């Protein structure tokens, strides 16, 4: 029997589960803080952008939402390098500390009526800090959870990365639902929207304390490359250009459709389908709970049929379904009908969502894995995920909203083609350590 590599520690099932849960908790809080902005923007938009109608105000808050994505490649690059050199666990704690700072800043930020345009600049600055944090969180989290998952059940365990991503959005919406049912509309518009950001800051402190006690992965501990040679950008681009391109296309498809089906869908239900804010929020909360619960099931399935197959089928189905389903939602009058139609879209998307982290991690060796997963992902997010709401709102304002459905469908089909041409990472994974 071969001896364990230097620095490698045997993993019990309990230690794996503890590590997965610890990494998941941080991921959930990071995404809760990120999505608290989009879930509450219907209420605070007028506080920072008082001029114009509701669509104009949402367009401006969507622009700041997109601006936060500009920092994600920078965060992915810096924290990705840090994760490959100092460790996955250390990078996770740094990311959550930055998110905590951004959330508390928004919670106490004065409005336009109090300090004028400085309020808009302050909101932008806080979102840039959160973008820096989230850019690094994705790669560090995906790498940590993939390396901690055992070979036999990698699809299942790594699916919790997206389960908690959706869980963060669910939590943000549920907090808003509670506020909608406990505060008057006037109080929610005036100051109640700050509460979700304060909660996010407090949760980030708790997770920071938890993650400092996590174990490091065997893949990182066993890496023999000198620390200064790990996480090198030029090494990544020189040795793995195909993998970088693959991740960018897959992320473009998965991220654009995710934001179309989730964060933008809440506004779509209100501004296009004509539902009330409360009803739209409740529909999306229900959708996201089921969407979250589906992920481990799809991850388990991918361990049986192959991750590339799961991803390719999901993206192709979503690509063909987006136009007819979103058109039907725009004419839906019953909440149950809208709920069922959106579930069709997120079920398709789950083919990508449940396995995307593990597929990306399996394409790179340990010395550049965190950087390789995070940097192309963040770049594609800037171009496609971060601009999704803005493009949708702009096309709506131009009275050609259905072109957004076509745009989402075409990009998803491009991702499906790339996924279908992937090697089967179930048997060719570069995750060497269990």
Confidence of residue 5 (pLDDT cuts 50, 70, 90): very low
Dist CA 33 CA 20 (whole Å): 20
CB 43 within 8 A of CB 186: no
Which residue, among 377, 400, 393, has the nearest Cα to 63 in the 3D structure?
393
The tokens describing 189, both together, are: 């518009």
Q: What is the pLDDT of residues 200-256, one digit of tens each?
A: 999 989 888 888 778 877 777 776 676 667 878 888 999 899 999 999 999 999 999
Residue 11 has pLDDT above 80, yes or no: no
Residue 2 has pLDDT above 60, yes or no: no
Q: What letter does residue 240 receive in the DSSP assignment?
A: -
In a domain, 396, yes or no: yes
Dist CA 177 CA 168 (whole Å): 14
Confidence of residue 331 (pLDDT cuts 50, 70, 90): very high
Helix (H) or strand (E) holding 123: helix 118-148
CB 431 within 8 A of CB 157: no
Report percent pLDDT > 70 for the chain: 92
**Burial class of residue 275, CB neighbours in 10 A (0-12, 13-18, 19+):** buried
Q: What integer pLDDT is reported at residue 353 of this predicted model?
A: 93
Q: Report the chain's mean pLDDT, rounded to a whole number.
A: 86
Residue 128 has pLDDT above 50, yes or no: yes
Q: What integer pLDDT is reported at residue 161 of this predicted model?
A: 83
Residue 12 has pLDDT above 90, yes or no: no
Q: What integer pLDDT is reported at residue 323 of this predicted model?
A: 97
Confidence of residue 3 (pLDDT cuts 50, 70, 90): very low
The tokens describing 38, both together, are: 């989009």
In a domain, 9, yes or no: no
Dist CA 71 CA 131 (whole Å): 5
In a domain, 434, yes or no: no
Average pLDDT over residues 62-81: 86
Rounded to 5°, angle at Cα 129 from 123 and 131: 100
Dist CA 153 CA 301 (whole Å): 10
Rg (CA), the chain: 21
In a domain, 226, yes or no: no
Average pLDDT over residues 369-388: 88
In a domain, 335, yes or no: yes
198-220 core/surface letters (b: 16 or more CB in 10 A; e: else): ebbbebbeebbebbeebbbbbbb
Angle between helices 88-108 and 195-211 (to 10 degrees): 160
The tokens describing 65, both together, are: 């939402």
CB 147 within 8 A of CB 88: yes
Q: What is the pLDDT of residues 412-429, one digit of tens each?
A: 999 999 999 988 776 666
**H helices within 306-420, ranges in order?**
307-330, 335-353, 356-361, 369-380, 388-397, 402-420
Task: Using alpha carbons, list the distances in angstroms from residue 34 to 9, 70, 82, 271, 347.
Answer: 34, 14, 22, 22, 23
Residue 374: partners with Cβ closer than 8 Å, 6 or more residues away: 76, 77, 79, 80, 83, 135, 136, 138, 139, 140, 142, 143
**Other CB atoms within 10 A of residue 339 CB:** 18
In a domain, 365, yes or no: yes
Task: Using alpha carbons, list the distances in angstroms from residue 111 to 106, 107, 199.
Answer: 10, 11, 19
Q: What is the pLDDT of residues 280-317, one digit of tens each?
A: 888 988 998 999 999 999 999 998 998 899 999 999 99
Residue of 58 and 4 predicted with greater confidence: 58
Domain that holds residue 107: 19-215+232-424
**Other CB atoms within 10 A of residue 239 CB:** 16
How far does Cα 67 stand from its chain's mean position? 16
The tokens describing 365, both together, are: 């060796």
Q: What integer pLDDT is reported at residue 1 of this predicted model?
A: 33
Residue 341 has pLDDT above 60, yes or no: yes
Confidence of residue 134 (pLDDT cuts 50, 70, 90): confident
Residue 348 has pLDDT above 90, yes or no: yes
Dist CA 180 CA 284 (whole Å): 14
In a domain, 385, yes or no: yes
CB 311 within 8 A of CB 250: yes
In the chain, the number of structural domains is 1
Residue 120 has pLDDT above 80, yes or no: yes
The gap between the terminal CA atoms of the chain, to the nearest Å, is: 15
Average pLDDT over residues 140-147: 82
Q: What is the pLDDT of residues 77-103, one digit of tens each?
A: 999 998 888 888 889 889 888 998 999
pTM comes to 0.81
In a domain, 220, yes or no: no
Q: What integer pLDDT is reported at residue 13 of this predicted model?
A: 64
The region, left, alpha or beta by phi > 0 then psi within -120 to 50, assigned to residue 332 is beta
Residue 367 has pLDDT above 80, yes or no: yes
CB 34 within 8 A of CB 134: yes
Confidence of residue 40 (pLDDT cuts 50, 70, 90): confident
Residue of 216 and 36 predicted with greater confidence: 36
CATH classification of the domain holding 99: 1.20.1250.20
Confidence of residue 176 (pLDDT cuts 50, 70, 90): confident
CB 420 within 8 A of CB 254: no
């Amino acid at each position: 029997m071969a001896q364990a590599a230097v620095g490698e520690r045997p993993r019990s099932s309990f230690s794996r589960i503890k590590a997965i849960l610890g990494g998941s908790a941080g991921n959930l809080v990071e995404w809760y803080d990120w999505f608290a902005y989009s879930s509450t923007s219907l209420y605070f938009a007028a506080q920072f952008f008082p001029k114009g109608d509701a669509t104009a105000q949402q367009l401006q808050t969507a622009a700041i939402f997109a601006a936060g994505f500009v920092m994600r490649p920078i965060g992915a690059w810096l924290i990705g390098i840090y994760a490959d050199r100092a460790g996955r666990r250390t990078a996770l704690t740094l990311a959550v500390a930055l998110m905590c700072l951004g959330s508390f800043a928004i919670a106490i930020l004065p409005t336009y009526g109090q300090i004028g345009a400085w309020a808009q600049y302050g909101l932008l600055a806080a979102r840039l800090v959160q973008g820096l944090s989230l850019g690094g969180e994705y790669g560090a989290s995906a790498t940590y959870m993939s390396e901690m998952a055992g070979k036999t059940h990698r699809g299942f365990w790594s699916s919790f990365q997206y389960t908690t991503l959706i869980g963060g959005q669910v939590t943000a919406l549920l907090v808003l639902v509670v506020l909608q049912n406990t505060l008057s509309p006037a109080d929610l518009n005036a100051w109640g929207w700050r509460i979700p950001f304060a909660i996010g800051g407090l949760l980030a402190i708790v997770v920071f304390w938890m993650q400092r006690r996590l174990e490091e992965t065997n893949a990182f501990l066993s890496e023999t490359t000198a620390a200064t040679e790990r996480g090198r950008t030029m090494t990544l681009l020189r040795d793995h250009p195909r993998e970088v391109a693959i991740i960018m296309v897959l992320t473009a498809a998965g991220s654009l459709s995710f934001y179309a089906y989730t964060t933008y869908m809440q506004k779509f239900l209100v501004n296009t389908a004509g539902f009330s804010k409360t009803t739209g929020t409740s529909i999306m909360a229900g959708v996201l709970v089921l969407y979250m619960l589906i992920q481990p099931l799809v991850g388990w399935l991918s361990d049986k049929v192959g991750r590339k197959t799961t991803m390719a089928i999901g993206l192709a189905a979503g690509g063909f379904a987006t136009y007819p389903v979103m058109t039907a939602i725009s004419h839906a009058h019953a909440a149950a009908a809208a709920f069922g139609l959106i579930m069709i879209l997120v079920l398709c998307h789950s083919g990508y969502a449940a396995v995307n982290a593990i597929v990306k991690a399996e394409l790179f060796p340990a010395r550049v894995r965190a950087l390789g997963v995070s940097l192309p992902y963040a770049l594609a997010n800037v171009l496609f995920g971060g601009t999704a709401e803005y493009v949708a709102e702009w096309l709506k304002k131009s009275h050609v909203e259905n072109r957004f459905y076509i745009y989402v469908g075409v990009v998803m089909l491009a991702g499906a083609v790339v996924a279908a041409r992937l090697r089967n990472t179930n048997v060719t994974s570069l995750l060497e350590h269990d």
